[in-house]
Amino acid sequence: MADVVERLKELWGKYDELEGKFKDEMDPIYQEPYYPDAAEKLYNPDKPMQNRVTDIGPPYYWQFLPPVVKKNYGQWKSHEIIQPGVIKRVAESGDVIYVVRCGTPRLETTDYIREICEIADKYCDGYVRWTTRNNVEFIVDSEEKLKALLEDLKNRKHPGGSYKFPIGGTGAGVSNIVHTQGWIHCHTPAIDASGVVKSIMDELFEYFGSHKLPAKTRLALACCLNMCGAVHCSDIAIVGIHRKPPMVEDERLQHVCEIPLVIAACPLGAIKPATVEIDGQKKKTVRVNASRCMFCGNCYTMCPAMPIADGEGDGIAIVVGGKVSNRISAPKFSRVVIPYIPNEPPRWPTTVKWIKKILETYAEHANKYERVGDWIERIGWEKFFELTEIPFTEKSIDDYRLAYTTYRTTTHFKFTKHVDEVKIEV
Q: Which residues from 310-349 bind another protein, rule CB under 8 A?
A: 310-312, 314, 322, 324-329, 331, 333, 343, 345-347
Residues 228-287 that bind another protein (CB under 8 A): 228-233, 261, 264-265, 267
Q: Which of 152, 163, 252, 274 binds another protein (CB under 8 A)?
A: 163
C-alpha to C-alpha distances, 168 to 52, 84, 160, 210, 309, nearest whole angstrom:
43, 5, 21, 7, 36
DSSP three-state, residue 12: helix
Q: Which of 95, 148, 210, 418 binds another protein (CB under 8 A)?
A: 210
Nearer to another protein, 245 or 322 (CB): 322
Exposed e or buried b per residue across 223-244, where buried means at least 16 C-beta atoms within 10 angstroms of its C-beta:
bbbbbbbbbbbbbbbbbbbbee
Nearer to another protein, 106 or 388 (CB): 106
Phi then psi dihedrals of residue 109, to 5 deg: -110, 170
Q: Which of 185, 255, 272, 292 binds another protein (CB under 8 A)?
A: 185
Q: Which of 123, 165, 354, 385 binds another protein (CB under 8 A)?
A: 165
Centroid of chain to Cα 196 = 12
The span from the CA of 81 to the CA of 89, in Å, is: 9
Phi then psi dihedrals of residue 148, to 5 deg: -65, -40
Minimum separation from the CB atom of position 311 to another protein (A) = 4
Q: Which of 100, 199, 359, 416 binds another protein (CB under 8 A)?
A: 199
Residues 65-84 that bind another protein (CB under 8 A): 65, 69, 73-74, 76-84
Residues 348-367 that bind another protein (CB under 8 A): none
C-alpha to C-alpha distances, 345 to 170, 220, 259, 264, 315, nearest whole angstrom:
30, 18, 36, 35, 11
Minimum separation from the CB atom of position 417 to another protein (A) = 29
Nearer to another protein, 222 or 387 (CB): 222
Helical (H) or strand (E) element with 319: strand 315-320
Q: Which of 2, 17, 25, 39 binds another protein (CB under 8 A)?
A: 39
Total of residues contacting another protein (CB under 8 A): 155
Q: Which of 10, 142, 154, 184 binds another protein (CB under 8 A)?
A: 184
Nearer to another protein, 332 or 418 (CB): 332
Stretch near another protein under the rule CB under 8 A, chosen from 170-178, 247-255, 354-362, 375-383? 170-178
Does residue 164 interact with another protein by CB under 8 A?
yes
Q: Which of 1, 10, 23, 52 binds another protein (CB under 8 A)?
A: 52
Q: Which of 98, 123, 153, 189 binds another protein (CB under 8 A)?
A: 189
The span from the CA of 245 to the CA of 272, in Å, is: 14
Nearer to another protein, 217 or 416 (CB): 217
One-letter amino acid of 388: T
Per-residue mark of binding to another protein, 98-117 (x: CB under 8 A): -x---xxxxxxxxxxxx-xx
Q: Which of 152, 171, 247, 350 binds another protein (CB under 8 A)?
A: 171
Pairing of strands 335-342, 281-288: unpaired
Pairing of strands 236-241, 219-222: parallel
Residues 116-155 that bind another protein (CB under 8 A): 116-117, 120-121, 126-132, 134, 136
Pairing of strands 236-241, 135-140: unpaired
Minimum separation from the CB atom of position 368 to another protein (A) = 5
Residues near 190 by Cβ (< 8 Å), separated by ≥ 6?
A: 223, 224, 240, 241, 242, 297, 309, 314, 315
Judge whether 63 and 31 are in contact, CB under 8 Å. Answer: no
